Amino acid sequence: MGGNVGPVSTALLSPGWNLTQSLARLISIAGVIGGVGGLGLDLIFQPDGEKTAVFIPFATSIIGLTIGAVTSRNRVDDFSNADGASGALSGALFKLDKGDFGVGIPTPMPTFLRGDLPSGGTALEPAASFTLFAARF
User: Are the C-beta atoms of 23 and 72 separated by less than 8 Å?
Assistant: yes
Region 17-38: mean pLDDT is: 84
Average pLDDT in the chain: 80
Domain ranges of the chain: 19-76, 88-117+124-137
Crossing angle for the helix pair 21-45 and 50-71, nearest 10 degrees? 150
User: Are the C-beta atoms of 25 and 103 separated by less than 8 Å?
Assistant: yes
11-20, 58-67, 94-103, 116-125, range with the lowest pLDDT: 11-20
**pLDDT exceeds 90 at position 24:** no
| Nearest CA-CA partner of 28 in 75, 73, 59, 64 | 64
CB neighbour list of residue 97: distance below 8 Å, 6 or more residues apart: 78, 79, 89, 135, 136
The backbone torsions φ and ψ at residue 129, rounded to the nearest 5 degrees and listed phi first, read -120, 155
Measured CA to CA, the distance from residue 137 to residue 40 in angstroms comes to 35
